């Protein structure tokens, strides 16, 4: 590993001739010769028994709300390697009428400006990563305080959704008992009823524990590293909380409009590692909607990864526009992921929906996640919540800008994204101008 630079010495760069020993190594050459090359022409995926067709029909959906986020990591190389991450999550609401105009061959720029100015919103925050903290607080305490302030003080809608999920507020008869691990001493606390904060039950600790600690972002914090992955995780948590906030608000205040709006997220409906503890209440809420016969349309769209790669293969296999393929556990571990379908249940802990492939035209297949409520190891058509209406909408949303692209996702991505240049230069100057010189 190379040496990093500082204010007086340069960074050590990799050798331009470092590859030569590998090229000359006979053992490496022999291994490569033993590898089997692969091309799409060789792929023999059998879709028999998995392919279904969704008939075209009119839906009650009138608008789409799409959600996406981005992170920009800023490092000050001069002042003790201080670093922070700016987080931005964007929302865009667009009607079918506006979409039809935006899909025209010639698009009026005024229309785009109107959509962005009137029907878009963003949530922003900043997370300290390395050698930055609030005065008189430890780095861990700083992280926890910033997360709590971001959710509770700055974005009450997200905090209310966190409470709604953790305490299962849709069930008026429940008396929640919530287990919390203290972020300081790691004592497990069992709390009855709703709360915003409490003091740890360990008499040797008694640290203040926030409701926002339920997300467990603090478990990913490491004082030895820059914690860029923690910032990405926080961004993803905000995305899911914002996504579910619209569902919660419509459910609580405008149930009659739930069937008129489709919620669309950039990325799968999944939370990994310790953040998966939010998956269980999300599944339970969606199952409650299904049991109550309340129509709602929720979908996540993948733009990369093994399922996205597999979509290219299926583009040759699925017969016509409107064809779908819902992979079961065996199909996933036989054709997409590595693992044993007899001992592993794909997504059992982390997904709050099931994956499917949708052929939106002759050349494009979209990878989507649609909720099932309770976990389904081998989902069928009837298990996916609002499947027919969602597929019919996806067929109307295709974008000609990119492969397998949907217009609301393309649009919200442009709102959320922060390019490395010039964004990082601007944010770095903003960071350096505003940071307290006494910050450690």
Q: Which of 1-15, 174-188, 206-220, 288-302 has the lowest mean pLDDT?
A: 1-15
Q: Mind listing the pLDDT tens digit for each residue in 292-302?
A: 999 999 999 99
Report the alpha-carbon distance of residue 244 to residue 145 in Å, rounded.
23
User: Is pLDDT larger for residue 173 or for residue 289?
Assistant: 289
Which residue, among 283, 211, 297, 291, has the nearest Cα to 250 in the 3D structure? 297
Give the pLDDT score at 367: 94
Give the pLDDT score at 224: 66
User: Is pLDDT larger for residue 14 or for residue 287?
Assistant: 287
Query: Which residues are within 8 A (CB) of 204 and not within 5 positions of it... i.e. 6 or more apart?
Result: 185
Instruction: Work out the pLDDT band at 420, boundaries 50, 70, 90.
Output: very low
Q: Mind listing the pLDDT tens digit for each residue in 156-185?
A: 999 999 999 999 999 877 777 888 888 888
Most confident of 27-41, 59-73, 91-105, 219-233: 59-73
Report the alpha-carbon distance of residue 158 to residue 245 in Å, rounded.
6
Q: Mind listing the pLDDT tens digit for each residue in 83-135?
A: 888 889 989 888 888 777 766 666 666 766 677 767 888 888 888 887 788 88
On the question of pLDDT at 45 being above 90, the answer is no
Q: Mind listing the pLDDT tens digit for each residue in 332-361?
A: 999 989 888 889 999 999 999 999 999 998
Give the pLDDT score at 153: 86
Give the pLDDT score at 301: 94
Give the pLDDT score at 9: 54
Give the pLDDT score at 3: 47
Taken in order 213, 216, 217, 218, the sign of the CA dihedral is positive
Please compute the mean of the pLDDT values over residues 383-399 and round it to a whole number.
Answer: 92
On the question of pLDDT at 433 being above 70, the answer is no
Please compute the mean of the pLDDT values over residues 264-291 and round it to a whole number.
Answer: 93
Contacts 24+ apart (CB under 8 A), 32-39: none
Rounded alpha-carbon distances, angstroms, from residue 314 to 326, 393, 404: 12, 20, 12
Instruction: Work out the pLDDT band at 79, boundaries 50, 70, 90.
Output: low
On the question of pLDDT at 435 being above 70, the answer is no
The whole-model pTM stands at: 0.85
Q: Mind listing the pLDDT tens digit for each residue in 11-24?
A: 555 555 565 576 67
Please compute the mean of the pLDDT values over residues 279-289 and round it to a whole number.
Answer: 95
Q: Hey, is 178 helix, strand or coil?
A: strand
Q: Which two tokens stand for residue 420?
A: 């490395």
Contact 204, 103 (CB under 8 A): no
Give the pLDDT score at 96: 84
Which backbone phi and psi does 94 adopt, to 5 degrees? Answer: -140, 135
Rounded to the nearest 10 degrees, the angle between the axes of helix 279-291 and helix 228-253 is 20
Give the pLDDT score at 440: 43
């Amino acid at each position: 590993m190379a040496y990093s630079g500082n204010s007086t010495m340069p960074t050590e760069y990799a050798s331009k001739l470092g590859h030569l020993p590998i090229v000359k190594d006979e053992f490496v050459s022999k291994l490569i010769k033993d590898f089997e090359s692969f091309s799409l022409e060789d792929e023999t995926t059998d879709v028999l028994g998995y392919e279904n067709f969704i008939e075209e029909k009119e839906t009650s959906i009138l608008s789409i709300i799409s959600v996406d986020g981005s992170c920009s990591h800023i490092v000050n190389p001069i002042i003790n390697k201080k670093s922070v991450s700016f987080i931005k999550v964007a929302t865009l609401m667009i009607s079918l009428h506006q979409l039809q105009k935006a899909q025209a061959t010639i698009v009026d720029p005024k229309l785009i400006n109107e959509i962005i100015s009137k029907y878009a919103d963003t949530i922003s925050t900043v997370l300290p990563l390395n050698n930055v903290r609030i005065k008189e607080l430890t780095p861990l305490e700083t992280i926890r305080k910033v997360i709590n302030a971001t959710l509770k003080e700055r974005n009450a809608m997200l905090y209310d959704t966190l409470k709604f999920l953790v305490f299962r507020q849709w069930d008026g008869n429940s008396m929640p008992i919530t287990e919390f691990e203290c972020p300081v001493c790691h004592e497990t606390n069992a709390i009855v009823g709703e709360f915003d904060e409490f003091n740890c039950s360990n008499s040797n600790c008694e640290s203040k524990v926030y409701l926002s600690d339920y997300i467990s972002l603090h478990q990913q914090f490491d004082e030895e590293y820059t914690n860029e992955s923690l910032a990405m995780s926080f961004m993803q948590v905000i995305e899911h909380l914002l996504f579910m906030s619209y569902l919660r608000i419509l459910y609580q205040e405008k149930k009659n409009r739930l069937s008129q709006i489709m919620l669309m997220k950039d990325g799968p409906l999944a939370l990994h590692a310790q953040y998966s503890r939010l998956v269980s209440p999300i599944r339970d809420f969606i199952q409650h909607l299904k049991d109550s016969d309340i129509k709602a349309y929720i979908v996540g769209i993948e733009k990369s990864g093994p399922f996205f790669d597999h979509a290219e293969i299926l583009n040759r296999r699925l017969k016509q526009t409107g064809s779908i393929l819902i992979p079961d556990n065996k199909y996933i571990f036989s054709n997409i992921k590595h693992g044993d379908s007899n001992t592993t249940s794909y997504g059992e802990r982390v997904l709050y929906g099931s994956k499917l492939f949708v052929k939106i035209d002759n050349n494009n297949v979209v990878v989507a996640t649609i909720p099932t409520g309770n976990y389904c190891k081998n989902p069928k058509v009837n298990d996916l919540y609002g499947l027919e209406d969602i597929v019919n909408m996806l067929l109307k949303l295709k974008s000609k800008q990119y492969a397998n692209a949907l217009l609301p996702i393309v649009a919200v991505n442009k709102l959320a994204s922060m390019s490395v240049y010039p964004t990082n230069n601007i944010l770095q100057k903003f960071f350096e101008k505003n940071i307290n010189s006494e910050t450690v």
